Amino acid sequence: MDKNRAFAIVLFSLILASPRFSYGDDSERIRELEQKVEELTRIVNELSARQQTPPAVREEPAVPEEINEDEKPVAPQLTLRGFGHAQYDYAQTNFSDGTAGDTNHFANGELDLFITSRVAEKISFLNETVFEFKEGASHNPDVERLLLKYEANNKFNVSIGRGHTALGYWNQTFHHGTWLQTTTGRPAIYRLEDHGGILPMHFVGLEFSGTLDMPGGTLNYVSNLANGRGEIADEVQMSNDDNDSKMAGGMLTYKVAAVEGLGFGANYIRDIIPARAGTANRGGEIDENLSGAHIFYVKDPFEVILEGQLINHFNHATGLRDETVGAYGQLACKMGKYKPYLRFDWLNISDRDPFYEGLVEDETSHTLGLRYDLTTFNALKLEYRHSDKDNSRSNEATLQSAFAF
C-alpha cells in the first residue's frame, strides 16, 4: 500500500470517528457524510494517478542554465606602482677659459607613475608617466611609455604605442625608475633625448619581441618599426613623421644556460633624419645607421655590464660621412645591504656633424659610488664623479634617496 492511499484511509477513519459524523437518525448528517466520502474518494484517485505517472512525463520546474565562468566579462585589473628620488648635488668645475665655480643644491628627482593592466587574456597595457621638476618649468607630465601589447606566446609578442627603442641592454632593462638601477644616473651614451642624449631612446610605432629556445641557451629579440628622428636629437615624433621613411631595427640577446646571468648581444637601427631649413649644412637629409654590442653578467652578488654604440651619419647636403662613438663599463658587487660600484664612460662626438653641433661634447668620466639598501624599497646612494669634457673639468658628488612605492 502506497503512502498516499494509507493517508486517505487514516483520514477517512478519523472522520468516521468524529462525534459530528456519528450514526443516528439525522438524514442531513448522513448526506453530509456521503459527500465527504465522495470527496475523499476523488482525492485518493488523483493521488494514485499521480503516483503511477512515469517520471519522464512529470512536469519539473525549469532550471536556469549554468553560466560559463570563462564567458563572463571581467573588468581589467589595473595595478599602479611608482618610483621617485630626491638628492643633494655638489659640483666644482674648472672651465677652459681659466674661470672656475662651484654649486650645491637640493633637488627633487623624477616622480614616475608606472601603470599596468590586464585588458584580456592575451592583451595588456603599460604606461609610464614621469613628472620632472626643472628650474622655471611648468612641471608638465612626460608620457615616456604608452604600450598596448598582444602576447601570442613566449615566441611572439607585438606592441603598439610609445616605448623604449631596441637599443642596448641598459635601455631595455632599467627604464625610468632610478631605484631600479645601481647608480644615481644613466650612462652617458644612454642619456635621454631631453637630457643631452645622442641616441633615439624612445620610439613611437610598433615593437615585436619574443624568446626562442636555442642550443645552449635562449635568444631574446626586440625590433621596432616606428617614426624616425625629428630635425634635432631632442625631438621624438609623437603624432607625425617629417619624412616618409620609418626607423627600423632590432636587438638580439643570447643568454647562456650553463652560466646563469651571462648574456651578450648586438643591435642595429636604420633611419633617415629630415633636413632642417635655415641651419648650416642641414639642407639635405642625413642617413643614420646605429650599431652596437653589449655583454653582461648580472647574478648576485656581481653586476658586470659592458656596452658600446657607433653612430654613422651620411649628410646628403655636404656629401660627408661622420662617426660618433660611445661606450661604458660598470662593475658592482653586493655585500649584504651594501653595493659598491665603479663606472667608466666615454663619448667621442664628431666635431663636424651638424646634427650634434652645440648639443653635446666629448666626455670621459669616472664614477665611484656606494649603494645602501635601507629597506626593501628604499636605497641610499653616495656617488663621486670626475668628468673631462671639451670645455671643462669637474668633480661632482651626489647623495640620493631612491624609492619604489
- Sign of the alpha-carbon dihedral angle for 32, 34, 35, 37: positive
Q: Which residues of the chain have a pLDDT value below 70?
A: 1-74, 136-139
Q: How much is the pLDDT for 312?
A: 97
Q: How much is the pLDDT for 314?
A: 97
CA distance 217 to 282: 46
Closest to 223 (Cα-Cα) out of 237, 210, 235: 210
Q: For the chain, what are the domain ranges?
A: 3-57, 81-108+158-404
The single residue listed with the C-alpha cell 659640483 is 91
pTM value?
Answer: 0.79
With DSSP H G I counted as helix, E B as strand and the rest as coil, what are the percentages for the chain, rounded to 5? 15, 50, 30
Q: 236: which 3 cell numbers? A: 621624438
**Helix or strand or coil: residue 317?**
coil
CATH of 81-108+158-404, one of 2.40.160.10, 3.10.580.10, 2.60.40.10, 3.40.50.740: 2.40.160.10
Q: How much is the pLDDT for 140?
A: 73
